[in-house]
Amino acid sequence: MGDLGTYIPIVLALTLARDLNLGTTLIFTGVYNIITGAIYGVPMPVQPMKSIAAEALSDTGFGVPEIMAAGILTGGTVFVLGVTGLMQLVYRLIPLCVVRGIQLAQGLSFALTAVKYVKKIQDLPKSKSLGQRHWVGLDGLILAIVCLVFIPSAFLVFILGVVLAFLRRHHVVHEIKFGPSSIDVVKFSKHAWKKGFIKGTIPQLPLTLLNSVVAVVKLSSDLFPGREFTATSLSVTVGLMNLVGCWFGAMPMCHGAGGLAGQYKFGGRSGGCVALLGAAKLVLGLVLGTSLAHVLNQFPVGILGVLLLFAGIELAMCSRDMNTKEDSFVMLMCTAVSLVGSSAALGFLVGMIVYVILRLRNWTKDKPLSTIWMQKHDDQL
């Protein structure tokens, strides 16, 4: 359960706020866990695509069709890059500071949403605040603060939330129906494909390339010497997961270096641990299906905010490896534009432009224009 701190809050929030099909997501992600655990032989995580999730939680017009379109387009692009061997080339073209800027922006977006969930009563499907949250009660402000300060594990907070969901409305037990929910093909419009690509795929793609492929390859070689994986194999599994599952409403998924580190930290040494996790998800999805949503509808939103805050901080902390002023400047510019402009795609574009300008400035610094021209001319010759 080393990476459930990310999986639980994002899937739970999207189930409550955007009507994500929980049963389908559990079934497909369970299968993903079992297959990747068997293929790689290490605790390879399966985590939600965070940038797409952050966009869905912040934009009421970014619904299930847009989420799935973004996942299919991201997965398809990663699959093609992996099969053609272009993955490493693309990685070299995208500066790390720009990727970190997007990660910081999405982490802060999660955190800001989390604070809103904790402080105010929410109408999640409409993303509207209905007033200040009461201090006491089974979904009170004091309870959320206690969970934030005194409970160190996101999984324990989730278990507490499930228990409180039953206490808030114990009749919900009678609404649980056994058996899998129906798996239907998602209907897409041209607008969904367009919005999914612009607001979902563009900001998600650099994160997937770096954190789900390249960083995982490097970390796996560090943690598991002798079990090295290629960027091609990871690109193919990430691509196939989304090219298959997203058509049926399963949340877009990827691997992640943070999840792999979390599994290792809590004792995971083989693919068996994630296979067991996948089996548990599969059983829940097949036995209870979407009826789990009846229970989760009573889940304390204040505690959901605490879980989302954990996920946001974990994502934002990835940006701490920026050591130079220039890289930090590019990262913060990318973050600021993403948050102020409410568009990670715009932040990505501005970050790339600023990065290129700074590199050109450094290259031309203290060089006469004639020297630069002659150097360029000699290189061409």
Condensed to tens digits (0 to 9), the pLDDT of residues 358-378 reads 988 888 776 665 554 455 445
Q: 268-294: buried (b, 16+ CB within 10 Å) or exposed (e) per residue?
A: beebebbbebbeebbebbbebbbbbbb
Angle at 231 between CA 226 and CA 235, to 5 degrees: 130
CB-facing half-sphere around the CA of 258: CA atoms within 13 A: 25
Q: Supply the pLDDT for residue 212.
A: 83
Q: Supply the pLDDT for residue 381.
A: 45
What predicted TM-score, i.e. pTM, was given to this entire model? Answer: 0.75
Phi, psi of 69, rounded to the nearest 5 degrees:
-65, -45
Q: Supply the pLDDT for residue 81.
A: 92
What whole-number distance in Å separates Cα of residue 119 and Cα of residue 109?
16
Q: Cβ distance 246 to 72 under 8 Å?
A: yes
Q: Cβ distance 67 to 56 under 8 Å?
A: yes
Contacts from 357-363 at CB under 8 Å and sequence distance 24+? 358/326, 358/329, 358/330, 362/326
The list of the chain residues with pLDDT below 70 reads 1-3, 5, 91, 125-127, 342, 366-381
Q: Cβ distance 228 to 220 under 8 Å?
A: yes
263-313 pLDDT per residue, tens: 777 778 889 989 999 999 999 899 888 778 777 778 888 888 888 888 788
Q: Supply the pLDDT for residue 310.
A: 80
Annotated domain spans of the chain: 3-323
